[in-house]
Amino acid sequence: MWCDPRNGSLAAFQRALVDLGDQSNHAELPTIPWALWGHSGGGHWAGGITLLHPERIVATWLRSGVPLLKANPERPQIKPHDLPAAALSVPLMCNMGTKEGVTIKQGRFAKVWPANQVFFHAVRSRGGLIGVAVDPLTSHECGNQRYLAIPWLDACLTARLPEQPDAPLLPMPETNNWLAEVAGFQAWPASTTQADPLTLAWLPDEQIAKSWMQYVKDTAVADTTPPPAPTRLRVVGRQLRWACTADLESGLAFFVIKQNGSLLTQVPESPQNRFGRPLFQNLLYSDTPTQPLAEMTWAIPNSKPGDCYEVTAVNTVGLASIPARVTHLTENTQSHSQLWEKR
């Protein structure tokens, strides 16, 4: 099976890190810790690596795929993994669509949920730090999972990365944990839970627990921070061009363009994403952008020297950045750009 890291892909991955470290002058790449995310067979792969090398793994998010811990006679080509004690200290999240066997019991992906249940109970019953987040909107596609996966991974990275680069990973704190219904909607501080904690899903802290409760309800995870402002805004011929850093919390939905203070357009005019929140870059089934990548550019229909342009980034919850501003100085490619704060 391609998704079994023991069949050569782990060794290839490790060789690639060595090569990348050599070519980028980052000799630390082959030895630094990993935070893993995997979808479908990629979840099987990421989970397998976690079980093989738990000492290197900060945390692992498993979307619609988990490794087997017992042989499945219906799929003899998939070999089971052992569950070492060290893996119980690695934060894990099982994330699947409700149509993958949770509420829809028939169909191609109906066995995803039962496989996740087996994996969850095997890990959690031994005290493993594992949670479950059921996507209420999807089947096997990734949907809006990134809006919970990224802050979850960030919380685990913040808690576990040591101050000294060569030091071992830190254990997750035991004082801030929350527990949650495995396929439900409620979560509580671990210190207040009356039920057997090893039957409940594990969450790292209060903020993630609140985001989790929103995600399993409708995936509308809240965000109160505006996106980064566009940079490198310039006029090149009849093209307005810019760059912008990703909004890790909510993603970039579109850019608003103004000319001399008046609204010209937004780019794109109609953001697309059939698998989740509309995004500037669009999104595919497996949470990767469509190809070719969307370019941050717009053709100016009418422009003259002295015209002033503003470009503002807007994220998927409707929050706007500080605008970037550029003045078209001449008919050639010269322009003058700056950021300016809203008053």
Digit-by-digit pLDDT tens for the chain (343 residues) are 889 999 999 999 999 999 999 999 999 999 999 999 999 999 999 999 999 999 999 999 999 999 999 998 988 999 999 999 999 999 999 999 999 999 999 999 999 999 999 999 999 999 999 999 999 999 999 999 999 999 999 999 999 999 998 899 999 999 999 999 999 999 999 999 999 999 999 999 999 999 999 999 999 999 999 999 999 999 998 999 999 999 999 999 999 999 999 999 999 999 989 999 999 999 999 999 999 999 999 999 888 889 999 999 999 999 999 999 999 875 554 455 555 443 2
204 and 297 share a domain? no
Q: Where are the beta strands (DSSP E) in 244-296?
A: 252-259, 262-267
Q: Which of 165, 196, 218 is where one domain is finished?
A: 218
Residues 130 and 152 in one domain: yes
Q: Name beta bridge partners: 258.
A: 263, 310
Q: How far, rounded to the nearest angstrom, does the alpha carbon of residue 94 sit from its chain's CA centroid?
A: 14
Q: Which of 162, 188, 218 is the last residue of a domain?
A: 218
Among the candidates 218, 253, 283, a domain finishes at: 218
Minimal CA–CA distance to 223: which of 316, 135, 93, 143? 316
CATH number at residue 27: 3.40.50
225 located within any domain: no
CB atoms < 10 A from the CB of 105, how many? 11
The alpha carbon of 239 is separated from its chain's Cα centroid by a whole number of angstroms, namely 32
Q: Which of 32, 96, 42 is nearest to 67 (CA)?
A: 42
3-state DSSP call for residue 290? coil
Residues in contact with 19: Cβ distance below 8 Å, sequence separation at least 6, in sequence order: none
Question: What CATH number should be reported for the domain holding residue 307?
Answer: 2.60.40
pTM tops 0.85: yes
Whether 103 is covered by a domain: the verdict is yes
DSSP, res 172: P
The domain in which residue 207 lies consists of 5-218
Let me know whether 326 and 256 are in one domain. yes
Contacts (Cβ under 8 Å, ≥6 apart) of 288: none
